[in-house]
Amino acid sequence: MNFYAVKAIYKFEMARTWRTIAQSIVSPVVSTSLYFVVFGSAIGSRMDDIGGVSYGAFLVPGLIMMTLLTQSISNASFGIYFPRFTGTIYEVLSAPVSPAEIVMGYVGAAATKAVMIGLIILTTSSLFVDLQILHPLTMFVFLVLTAMTFSMFGFIIGIWADNFEKLQIIPLLVVMPLTFLGGSFYSISMLPDFWQKVSLFNPVVYLVSGFRWSFYEISDVNVLVSMLMTLVFLGGCICALHWIFRTGYRLKN
């Protein structure tokens, strides 16, 4: 394992975060704070508790997960797309660096940024609501696993996209709607039986549910099922990346 190569890619990607700190960190934190003001204060004060938890506190895991998904995908997709766009990716591919080391560098940096933003939002949310994290270790495991999984997914999108418009299609038209319909702002138990069953086909439901369980021990699906679904998606992304580097899809042609 060439750790020097992994470290070089990782440091380069992390340096881009500090150069664009307003866009990378400040913007998602401010936008999430607005969700707390609108949904937590304005609407939450008129809603009953959910599972014995105030609506404002109930929102926190969903908002963190929503930001984590979008930031993981955008960071990783742009991180690999821009070298492809400028042509500098061929310098990386011609270097004595294995595909696994390339993925570790880019995905590791994207996941680190997403986890940082998630933890900052978690700290910020404590200014608005009384938080209770019953299982902090489980919470952190879900946070890291989700960031890694969707950073890999974003890496795949960055390789697949051949223009800036395609780079935004899946995050905006697929991931964002699934996030809003995945129980980020409500419990799927509040839905009619038919729509509860339909919601179980939404993978985001399992992510949000497992993450929320680590806070309050309330969830829409079993926490072990949530963890299993996360690992299945992670495995699927690893298999897709293996195929991409083995065939050179969108990299060597």
Domain ranges of the chain: 3-247
Please tell me the predicted confidence (pLDDT) of residue 236.
95
Q: Provide the b/e sequence for 232-249 (b: ≥16 CB within 10 Å).
A: ebbeebeebbeebbeeee
Predicted confidence (pLDDT) at residue 88 exceeds the cutoff of 80: yes
Q: pLDDT tens-digit profile of 49-76?
A: 787 888 888 888 998 998 899 989 998 9
Q: What is the pLDDT of residue 41?
A: 63
Judge whether 245 and 251 are in contact, CB under 8 Å: yes
Residues β-bridged to residue 53 = 50
- pLDDT, residue 158, reads 93
- In angstroms, the CA 212 to CA 223 distance is 9
pLDDT in tens, 9-45: 999 888 877 776 766 677 777 777 777 777 766 666 6
pLDDT of the residue at 253: 60
184 CB burial (10 A radius; 0-12, 13-18, 19+) = buried
Angstrom distance (rounded) from CA 83 to CA 215: 39
Residue 250: the pLDDT is 83
Cα–Cα distance for residue pair 23/18, rounded to 1 Å: 10
The 10s digit of each residue's pLDDT in 100-114 is 999 999 999 999 999
The whole-number pLDDT of residue 43 equals 66
> Helix, strand, or coil here: 50?
strand
206 within 8 A of 61, measured Cβ to Cβ: no
**Residue 135 DSSP one-character state:** -
What's the average model confidence in pLDDT over 209-214? 94
The answer to whether the CB of 182 falls within 8 A of the CB of 204 is yes
On average, the pLDDT of the chain sits at: 87
Assess whether pLDDT exceeds 70 at residue 119. Answer: yes
What pLDDT does 111 receive? 95
CB 215 within 8 A of CB 134: yes
Query: For the segment 169-203, what is each residue's pLDDT rounded down to a tens digit?
Result: 988 889 989 998 898 888 898 889 999 999 999 99
Q: What is the DSSP letter of 39?
A: I
Q: What is the structure's pLDDT at 17? A: 75
Cβ-contact 223, 138 below 8 angstroms: yes
Give whole-number Cα distances, 216 to 54, 88, 200, in Å: 11, 46, 21
- 207 versus 93: which is more confidently predicted? 207
Residue 46 has pLDDT above 70, yes or no: no
Residue-level pLDDT at 108: 95
Do 232 and 150 meet the contact criterion of CB atoms below 8 Å apart? no
Q: What are phi and psi of 37, to 5 degrees?
A: -65, -45
How far is it, in rounded angstroms, from Cα 16 to Cα 11?
9
* CB-based contacts of 122, cutoff 8 Å, min separation 6: 60, 64, 131
Query: What are the pLDDT digits (tens) for 219-252?
Result: 999 999 999 999 999 999 999 999 999 988 888 7
